Every structure is written in structure tokens, then in C-alpha cells.
Structure 1
């Protein structure tokens, strides 16, 4: 199946989840992510605000704040097209809607954290397979932003894909620019490679 067809199918699957199924998935993935991270020393964690029926990250964010872990959200890089920056997100952070209709913090350079200073970065995805391959929305923002960290085999940040169980496929068609993941967390389990 072609990548665009997989995206369409997976987005359809996500959109078919009921409000109750979304809430239960959010509760379970919160437990699984904190179980996975329980022995890690985490001060800064990058994550995204859910969009387009992605798994709801609001419970994870609330728990991070509860544990005094700084939360950083992606924003579209204002000067390097196709890349992301990660900016501190707090309950009262001024927000704006980017050109893709996604909520992000209003740019404040003093609140930006370099990717290498994040301890963990949770990424959205449209589909994943059991080899750790991730299929995003097609813009390549995360792949471009994270490519050098994979090439250089850096241990920080730990990059974790978050997904609904229904987003798993047998095998994804991959391209040379795709960045594989070592960890994907779903409501059902944590996959490690």
C-alpha cells in the first residue's frame, strides 16, 4: 500500500474512535509512558498537543506538570522552513494557531530549548510497524529536525512515538529520510527496539 493511502486509512481509523475510546486510550497511554520513564531522570520533555484525532496528550502533560517536569511543544521554525523548535509550555502560555491549523506557543526565543537539551521527545505519528518505522503526516518536520541526532547516534533526547493501537500496520514502505524509532508507546503496550 502506498504511503498516502496508509495515511488516509490510519487517519480514518483514528477518527472513528469514540470520545470514550479516546479518553480510555489517553488514560492507558499515560500509565504506559510513565511506567516506561519511571527510572529516568527527566527534567525537560518535548511533546505535542493532539490534533486530528491523535492520541490525547493532555493527561500526560498534566502529570508532567504535577511532577515539575518542564514541558516543551513544537513550533514551526520561523527561519528554517520545514524544521521545528521546541518551546516551554505552561498553563498560561500565550498560544497561536500555525499555518496548518495546529495550536502552538507564541514564539518567545527565551523559552526555546535546543533539541539536544530535551531528555525525552514524544512524537506523533500516523502509522507504525513492528520494526520501529514511523509514518508521519507527510511534512517531514520531525524527520528533518531529528535526522542529525540519529546520524550521530545521540542518546539524548530519547525519542518516543505515541499512537493508538489501531495505527499499527504489518510493514510500512520506508524512504531514505525516514527516522526510525527505538520506542513506541500505545495504550496496549510499549514497543522497544
Structure 2
């Protein structure tokens, strides 16, 4: 029987939360190795990421490695006035942090640290699950769907790349009419790549 989207969220989150600390540490290092193989890594200077929660693949080592490579990194902040939207603020080792409404750490809002979304090069997106067609299952808030709308509809703006544990992959997710596949998803073991976000039937190439 096909699971619902909410059932998939519960199932995959449970698998993710059961991963051991040592496994998480190893996976975070393997993520760096895979990320370094991306052609986009060499051509991107302004890279948005996120701080991991709820058993997500730990992004902190990747962020620290990007600093060492001279890249500028940014974290999402829930927009204080535009409901359901995100801002992206510059993030360094000394950035003042605060907890948002979901208990997730984010940079303390400062208009001087905001980077316009259309001037970012990459947006690394969190996800709960993904499938063979590149469809991303998020937490259901729609924040990243709204953020990435220009890319999905016009092919402009920062390129989205999903980050996930290998165990978050499933063969086929239930999708809605507004769902658009990601062009790439990086896991600790491989890079999933689809030739076109408009062709859900294409088979991904694994690097």
C-alpha cells in the first residue's frame, strides 16, 4: 500500500533519528568528499546551507570546510513580515544566533547581513525524503518551495541542491501538482543528478 506524504515523513524521520553519533560523524565527512566533486562548487562563492536538526545529515563540518575554501556561507531566517518566506543571512563562526519558532538556531536578524536571494549561487536544501525522480519531500511548511519558485518556473536564481542521508531515499514518493524535482541531491555515498527538472521519468546518473 502506498504511504501518504505524512506517513513517509514519519517513517523516514524515524530511520534518520536512529542513526548513531559515530555514523553521523562519518556521514558528514563523506558529504564533504561528495560536495567537493560538484562542478558547482568551483564556480560558486555564495552558498546557502542550513543547520541540521532532527537527525538530518550534519552540515556543520561542511560549512566549516567551505570557510576553509574561502567560500561565503548563509543560513535561512524566517521572514518576520512575509509569512512563509525565508531570508538568508551571512553566517560566520562569530554570528550571533537565536532560536526561531521551531526551536532551530538561526542568525539574529540584521538587515546589514541579509544577502538577496537572487545573488546567491547555490541553495543547499534540507529534505525529509527523495525519490528516483528527484522529488523532494519537505516538512510541509513550503518555505523552500516558495524560495526556489524562480528556479523552478524560470530557471533563474540560485541553483538548489538537496542534501540527505542515503536512508532518506525511497523509490517513489507521492507527489502533488506543484512538486518539481531537484536537479541534484548529494548524499554521503553519491551525487544523484537529473538531466532536467521537467522530466520526472529520467533515470538519475550516480557519480
TM-score where L is the length of structure 2: 0.90
| Equivalent pair of 2:27/2:57 in contact (CA under 8 Å) | yes
Whole-Å Cα distance in 1 between the matches of residues 42 and 159 of structure 2? 10
Give structure 2 stretches of 5+ with no counterpart: 195-207
Residue 89 of structure 1: CA displacement? 0.3
Whole-Å Cα distance in 2 between the matches of residues 47 and 17 of structure 1? 21
The 5-angstrom pairing of residues 9-20 of structure 1 reads 9-20=11-22
Matched, 1:179 2:180: yes
1:159 maps to 160
SS of 1:40's partner is helix
| Superposed structure 1 runs of 4+ greater than 2 Å apart | 37-40, 176-179
Give structure 1 stretches of 5+ with no counterpart: none
The 5-angstrom pairing of residues 106-117 of structure 1 reads 106-117=108-119
Structure 1 stretch displaced more, 92-101 or 114-123: 114-123
| Equivalent pair of 1:117/1:157 in contact (CA under 8 Å) | yes
Whole-Å Cα distance in 2 between the matches of residues 39 and 86 of structure 1? 19
SS of 2:95's partner is coil
Q: Give the RMSD, CA atoms, in angstroms.
A: 1.1
TM-score where L is the length of structure 1: 0.96
- Number of residues of Structure 1 aligned to a counterpart in Structure 2: 192
2:191 maps to 190
